[in-house]
Structure 1
Amino acid sequence: MAKKLPSGLKLMGIAPNILLKNVESTAPYLFQGEIDTSGPNRGFLAKLVFYKKNLKALNHIDLTEYFHLCLAAHWTTAGTFVPTDVDNQIREGLWRHETIGAHIQKMAKLTIESWSWDYEQVTNRKSYNPSRGQVMSTHEGTWLSVAIGAYNALIKNKQPVLAQDVADVILAEIDKEEKLLIELREKRDHINFLRSTALMAHNFGDLDRVIDQWQMNPEDPFYQRIYKLGHKLNSNYSPILVYSGQVNKALLALENHRHMSMRQPRALRKSHKFLIPVGPFMDQWGKVLGESQLLSPLEKVEIMAAFHEGFTRQD
């Protein structure tokens, strides 16, 4: 049953105040001053801090602002041990809201803007191309999944110009990931290449799932250009995308299942410095945990036990 805010907004999803509580549960450090919310492209972090201090303001939000809040919450927690459960809302549900006509342009422009949000402090699941200063993470997959939802909603609501704007940024993101993989291979930066294959598989997997969710037309040229890039050769792109998908499946796919066990030791949520990195090697992360004064000896033992449990998982 839909909930109605004092502003008149009807919601089928999570209430805004509960969403903030979920963020605080998995990323308490955001509200404790550990994260720098100032500077360019960090407004999504500042927004959550603002609403935490001004809960009554949540009663007056409209659909666009609720969408913005969900994006901010998910960007802040996507790299944590328990991300907020708003995936379907930001990918599809809110784009099918009964009042979408009055908000779709603002929501689509916000989606484009979120491509450049600074997520550096809120995830450790990253790979790097040091020579260009490029970073890739699972956040790009989160963004792709929202963007393709926006694209489909814009097409459905007869907004072809803005739909093309969104499509152009989707293509730019795919191009960025392709070039990063090619350059890392050419430089023989094997560790960052391995990390990037896992991230690319995640990111394009998110894109594929939402393409299926919206039941895009397989005859659509845009569909043919962006679907199953990690699985099938595509004349628009280098074979390295499929090769990377194969490398991930052979060497790294188990890591996603193993990470689930790390939800258990809540001490890992004390600091953004404790966020788990992408495999295959986690030496530096282990050093950070081992040297930290924020963790008691017992908490460190609990973390080691959870990590060992995850390591033993084979499926």
Structure 2
Amino acid sequence: MLDYISPETLVEWVENTAPFLFTDATPVKAVRLLELDFEDILRAVRQGYTWPESPDEYIEDYFALCLSAHHGTVATFIPTDVDSKIRGLLWRDNKNPESHRRMFEFALRAMHWPLERGSRRYTQVAGLGPVSGHNGEQLSVLMGALQAFLKNNDEEFIARAHTAVDEELRREAIEFSTAVNKKGAELDTLRIVASITHNVGDVDQGLSYWPKIDLYDGPRRDFGRLAHENTTPYGGLFSDAAKIYKRVMSPEGHRHYPLRSIKALRKSPDLLLPLGPFFDDWGKLVATHPALDDEARAEVLGALVTGCRKIQGQRGYARAIRGMLDALGQSKLQALLKKLPNSVRKDYEDAELRKAVAVGRESFESSMKKALLAAR
């Protein structure tokens, strides 16, 4: 109906990276997508959903599909690229203020969708709910809603959207503050730092769709540049977290391109990557998971070795290799290496990589704890 990626293509992209979301063949009940949750939305479109003829209703349901695709894939190996639509374009292309309200209500519901089916990248210390990169995506959607309501002069929903953004940021700030002050939570602190620094970056991305006019100055003041110079809101905690991120965690913030081509890793949500660089357990899982055979394990090992060379400064891939080594032993790991090209085996013998792999988990995690203390 509009010049968007076709719904069928979008669902194909999701199924390509997260086929485990489509194992249930039960027919989805015949209601609007806006009334369903993310897995049912994806399956409904795959099962031949009949789209509304009304342009406003079509955009509402397409918005629901985009949020579902994003929720299901943003923490997989190949995220579905619909950011511009959920942050800006769909709010702009729908001119109906009542539709904006319905889209906002749906976005609030989407903030409570479970993470377990499509992510292993979440952390909780204070008991206020898990903190993850999903929250940043949700915040950027709320920023799209807030701009629409400001443009519509919809005072009731301006207040509701502003409150929703503020409450989410406060929740994340409390999780960070609790973790950083809790003995024994150093690694969780680093994980939270990585997530919330990403999340306020997503808020800035959401704001980037807004014209620079006086109407939008308030939200920019309240929510913009929190990882940078805007240290007044939330006691400057996001700026504090960003400093730790830059000093300790930033090398891990890449997109894991070396692993994207390995289709075997997409078979199960068990195999999704956690937050780096803490990949020891993931490496052990790759070495032992029944969904993978030795050919697939060798392919993963090769990608990790290559990634260590290509992505300077990151430590997670060496930790994953160490996890595989701990699970398999030296002889079985060498057997996997023999399945790989000579160039990869040569890379594995690199002195710096072998030195990194030789570091035990306890020693590595101790060094990360010390790095956190030095960065505070």
Using structure 1 for the length normalisation, give the TM-score: 0.88
1:46 matched to 2:43: no
**5 Å matches for 1:44-193?**
44-53=38-47, 55-58=48-51, 62-129=58-125, 132=127, 134-188=129-183, 189-193=185-189
1:28 matched to 2:26: no
1:110 maps to amino acid: F
Aligned to 2:282: 285
Measure the CA separation in 1 of the matches of 2:43 and 2:306. Answer: 35
The count of corresponding residues between Structure 1 and Structure 2 is: 299
Residues 127-180 of structure 1 show CA distances to partners (whole Å, capped at 9, x for unaligned) of 221x52631111001001111011101111222211210110100010011100
Secondary structure of residue in 1 paired with 2:153: coil
2:203 maps to amino acid: L
Q: Is contact 1:51–1:58 with CA below 8 Å preserved after alignment?
A: no
Between stretches 161-170 and 238-247, larger displacement belongs to: 238-247
Q: 1:267 to 1:175 in 2, by over 3 A?
A: same
Larger radius of gyration between Structure 1 and Structure 2: 2
Measure the CA separation in 2 of the matches of 1:21 and 1:223. Answer: 37
The alpha-carbon deviation at position 33 of structure 1 amounts to: 4.1
CA RMSD of aligned residues (A): 2.3
1:194 matched to 2:194: no
1:261 matched to 2:258: yes
1:303 matched to 2:325: no
Measure the CA separation in 2 of the matches of 1:72 and 1:210. Answer: 18
Higher relative contact order (CA 8 A, sep 6+): 1
The alpha-carbon deviation at position 275 of structure 1 amounts to: 0.8
Q: Is contact 2:137–2:199 with CA below 8 Å preserved after alignment?
A: yes
Secondary structure of residue in 2 paired with 1:18: helix
Q: 1:224 to 1:85 in 2, by over 3 A?
A: same
Secondary structure of residue in 2 paired with 1:62: helix
2:312 maps to amino acid: Q
Q: 1:209 to 1:97 in 2, by over 3 A?
A: same
Q: Is contact 1:22–1:84 with CA below 8 Å preserved after alignment?
A: yes
Aligned to 1:8: none
Q: 1:91 to 1:285 in 2, by over 3 A?
A: same
The alpha-carbon deviation at position 311 of structure 1 amounts to: 2.6
Aligned to 2:291: 294
Q: 1:252 to 1:84 in 2, by over 3 A?
A: same
Using structure 2 for the length normalisation, give the TM-score: 0.74
Secondary structure of residue in 2 paired with 1:145: helix
**5 Å matches for 1:226-265?**
226-257=223-254, 259-265=256-262
Counterpart selection for 1:275 from 256, 269, 272? 272
The alpha-carbon deviation at position 15 of structure 1 amounts to: 0.6
Q: 1:230 to 1:266 in 2, by over 3 A?
A: same
Identity %: 30
Residues 193-221 of structure 1 show CA distances to partners (whole Å, capped at 9, x for unaligned) of 00111111111111111212213547723
Q: 1:56 to 1:121 in 2, by over 3 A?
A: closer
The alpha-carbon deviation at position 56 of structure 1 amounts to: 4.6
Secondary structure of residue in 2 paired with 1:253: helix
Q: Is contact 1:216–1:223 with CA below 8 Å preserved after alignment?
A: no
